Chain A
Amino acid sequence: MRTAFFKLIRLVVVVFIVTFLSFSMLKLQEATTGSTIIEKIAPFGSPAAKQQLADSLHLDDPFFVQYGRWLGNAVQGDFGLKYTGTGDNATTGTPVSTIVGKKLPVSIELMIYAQILALLFALPLGIYTAYRNGSRFDKITNIVMFAMLAMPAFLAGLALQLWAAKNPNAGFPTQYTGVDDFPLTPFTGENFKQMLLPTVSLAIAQIAVYMRLLRSDMIATLQEDFITTAKSKGIPARRVLMRHAFRPSSLTLLTVAGLNVGALIGGAIIVEQIFNLPGIGDELVRSILGSQVIETQAIIAIIAIIYVLVNFLVDILYTVLDPRIRHARAIA
């Protein structure tokens, strides 16, 4: 309980620093490139319009006051605006939170699908190759996995896109063809059709990571004394494999799967770009290209906060699941 409390404190501190860093990046940019926020958002505005924009952003306040106000608004779900005008109408725009609310579910859906697909392949392959360690099937799988590990999401994505372009009869779009009002209803045929290729692209390298980890972990576990004991008691191989060997090994896998979210977010940004999926990564890139500095900063902060929260939850989950850690204090 005490450790959980300290972890919570630590979480709050890290969230503060992360938001502070993402906020400072804007100022850093002004310092390094010499072009002000106002110039970026409203390059064609009249002096009066620019002043109005500066007032609405409170740019004349001291830095820490600005950060405090930004954080206070962010906590209430107000991340500023994505500006629609570049001239005199510069103060109009759509709230970033509205846009993020629409686009974030797409990315989350993509990552969950990819995670499920990766585990679906990695679990049986990892268990079986560990059980038949050294067999021909194991060796071939290892070579394939080694190649898949060198297959980053963008390579897989481009290859699948090419395949889809050459095989239009398969019915998978090379680019997202749905309406902009994503998300499509999850678990429908159309949704799967749109999401399959991006999901596979994202999952391929993950399959290799998970499978290799589970395999090496299982091989080590299978050499433990309690496995020999279980076998000598006449427990069937399947039961030994699943209950005695897989259960301790699955814990590591679960943690890694949770921790992998950082790599998944990166992969998702790239895959969204390749397949033109309207997710949060796509929006991040749009905001960068459109010089929407306020939006860019907000999206980076949001992604970082989500990432920190997921790591925190995985950490807590791990403590709950692993009796060795749960009781570590009692033993020590």
Chain B
Amino acid sequence: MPVQSPDGGQDVATALARDEAASPAFPNPTALAMAAVEADPGRSTKKGIGVGGWLSVAWLVLLVLVGVIGWVTDQKFPGLPDPRNDVGDFKLGMFSSGHLFGTDGSGQDVLSLTVNGTYASMFIGVFSVLAGFAVGGLFGILAGYFKGRVGAVLGSTTDILLAFPPLVLAISIVTFLGNSLLWVTVALAIVSVPVLSRIARAATLSWAEREFVTAARAQGAKHGRVMVKELVPNVLPAMLSIALLGIAVVIVAEAGLAIVGAGVNPNTTITWGSIINTGRDDIDSAPHIVLIPSIVIFITVMALNYLGDALRAKFDVRESAL
């Protein structure tokens, strides 16, 4: 990384990369990839989130709504054929009567599968990142604030988690512990803990030396209070934008797990990944089975990436005004 002004906490991506560069003993490729997503000096930072941002928000709100309905109805979305029991003709094409997006190799309605799969895919994406956010954030802030022994212990813990390639770690957790929706979520949460912890640590390091933190300490504030009142509000925005990117990564990872056969048990739960995986056998005769959920994943990832980027640019404005 080129040497940029090392004073503020504004550029977490840079701070993180610098942190990596300083001691990349067991470095974190995901965070660096995220830094690559993040660092984009060409983008204007003055605007709001823009039209693209609002479109992204609209898409994500829609997904959450669909997901909640899918959850409440146990993956039997009202008004659509029951994906498991209302079986039509095999491999109907797009725009067939009664099946807008056709049917898959066993006659299940692809639109209904995709809509109902939203619940599980979003559940995994949101809750694993949320769990990783809470645990990783706590680890990172503690490690960044108490640099001594606590930092070393927490640092080593994340280093060991990082010593497994993320997907391999997730695969082994799922195969050895279980392939229910909950275990897959736990597996991907464990994988995201070290990433989010690194971000939180880098952000904390860059804020902990600032004047207002010293001032709070000088006024006799206890460590807990300094962390909660002074550090958390400043570290949160950086983590939030990374968390959005993280949800995208996790949704993709879920599909990847499904493709290698280590995803959520497809007999009990429909996910976007499971639809893609079953559709792979018919890719040359009925490509729409794979195409529809793939496009949904693609749009979702784009929306999350875009918002993550926009959010960061927006928070930068606030921070540089400090």
Let me know if A209 and B33 touch, CB within 8 A: yes
- Contact residues of B between 236 and 288, Cβ < 8 Å to A: 248, 252-253, 255-256, 259-262, 276, 280, 283-284, 287
Instruction: For the complex, give the distance between the alpha carbons of A25 and B41 in Å.
Output: 44
Chain A residue, CB-CB nearest to B297 = A155
| A262 CB within 8 Å of chain B | yes
Let me know if B2 and A270 touch, CB within 8 A: no
| A311 CB within 8 Å of chain B | yes
**Max chain A Cβ within 10 angstroms of own Cβ: one of B164, B253, B280, B290:** B164
- Contact residues of A between 1 and 25, Cβ < 8 Å to B: 7, 10, 14, 17-18, 21-22, 25
Contact flag A150-B248 (CB < 8 Å), given A252-B21, A266-B167: yes
Let me know if B298 and A150 touch, CB within 8 A: yes
Contact flag A304-B168 (CB < 8 Å), given A10-B25, A288-B262: yes
Q: Mark each residue of chain B from 11 to 43: 1 if its CB lies under 8 Å from any CB of chain A, else 0.
A: 000000100110011111110110111011110
Let me know if B294 and A155 touch, CB within 8 A: yes
Q: How many whole Å from B295's CB to the nearest CB in chain A? A: 9
A-B contact list, 5 entries, CB within 8 Å = A21-B164, A32-B178, A213-B32, A216-B42, A274-B280
Let me know if A146 and B177 touch, CB within 8 A: no
Chain B residue, CB-CB nearest to A284 = B171
Let me know if A158 and B294 touch, CB within 8 A: yes
Contact flag A304-B42 (CB < 8 Å), given A10-B25, A256-B32: no
Q: Mark each residue of chain A from 136 to 152: 1 if its CB lies under 8 Å from any CB of chain B, else 0.
A: 00100010001101111
Contact flag A219-B42 (CB < 8 Å), given A150-B248, A150-B301, A209-B33: yes
Contact flag A213-B2 (CB < 8 Å), given A162-B284, A288-B261, A307-B163: no
| A263 CB within 8 Å of chain B | yes
Contact flag A260-B252 (CB < 8 Å), given A249-B2, A255-B24: no
Contact flag A216-B178 (CB < 8 Å), given A224-B2, A252-B17, A289-B261: no
Q: Which of B39, B172, B302 contacts A300 (CB 8 A)?
A: B172
Let me know if A260 and B159 touch, CB within 8 A: no
| A194 CB within 8 Å of chain B | no
Q: Mark each residue of chain A from 237 to 255: 1 if its CB lies under 8 Å from any CB of chain B, else 0.
A: 0000000000011001001
Let me know if B32 and A155 touch, CB within 8 A: no
> Can you add 18 more A-B contacts, CB < 8 Å, to A14-B26, A17-B163, A256-B32?
A10-B25, A14-B159, A18-B163, A154-B276, A155-B294, A162-B284, A213-B32, A255-B27, A255-B32, A262-B166, A266-B165, A266-B166, A266-B256, A269-B171, A300-B172, A304-B163, A307-B168, A311-B163
- Contact residues of B between 132 and 188, Cβ < 8 Å to A: 159-160, 163-168, 171-172, 175-178
Instruction: For the complex, give the distance between the alpha carbons of A48 and B29 in Å.
Output: 49
B32 surroundings in chain A (CB, below 8 A): 213, 255-256, 259-260
Instruction: For the complex, give the distance between the alpha carbons of A196 and B247 in Å.
Output: 30
The binding surface of chain B is classed by DSSP as: helix
Q: Mark each residue of chain A from 24 to 58: 1 if its CB lies under 8 Å from any CB of chain B, else 0.
A: 01101100110000000000000000000000000
Contact flag A216-B33 (CB < 8 Å), given A22-B172, A259-B28, A315-B27: no
| A123 CB within 8 Å of chain B | no
| A86 CB within 8 Å of chain B | no
| A308 CB within 8 Å of chain B | yes
Instruction: For the complex, give the distance between the alpha carbons of A325 and B39 in Å.
Output: 23
Count residues on chain B whose CB falls below 8 Å from chain A CBs: 58
Let me know if A263 and B30 touch, CB within 8 A: yes
Q: Which of B25, B168, B284 contacts A265 (CB 8 A)?
A: B168
Enumerate chain A interface residues (CB-CB to B < 8 A). Answer: 7, 10, 14, 17-18, 21-22, 25-26, 28-29, 32-33, 133-134, 138, 142, 146-147, 149-155, 158-159, 161-162, 165-166, 174, 209-210, 212-213, 215-217, 219-221, 224, 248-249, 252, 255-256, 259-263, 265-266, 269-270, 273-274, 281, 284-285, 288-289, 296, 300, 303-304, 307-308, 311, 314-315, 318, 325
A166 surroundings in chain B (CB, below 8 A): 284
Q: How many whole Å from A144's CB to the nearest CB in chain B? A: 12
B284 surroundings in chain A (CB, below 8 A): 162, 165-166, 174
Let me know if A146 and B302 touch, CB within 8 A: yes
A285 surroundings in chain B (CB, below 8 A): 260-262
B25 surroundings in chain A (CB, below 8 A): 7, 10, 311, 315
Let me know if B36 and A209 touch, CB within 8 A: yes
Let me know if A256 and B168 touch, CB within 8 A: no
Closest A-B pairs by Cβ, 9 of them:
A266-B167, A165-B284, A213-B36, A150-B301, A220-B2, A262-B165, A216-B39, A29-B176, A265-B165
A307 surroundings in chain B (CB, below 8 A): 163-165, 168
Q: How many whole Å from B125's CB to the nearest CB in chain A? A: 13
Q: Which of A161, A216, A217, A259 contacts B283 (CB 8 A)?
A: A161
Let me know if A269 and B168 touch, CB within 8 A: yes
Let me know if B177 and A259 touch, CB within 8 A: no
Let me know if A288 and B171 touch, CB within 8 A: yes
Let me know if B160 and A14 touch, CB within 8 A: yes
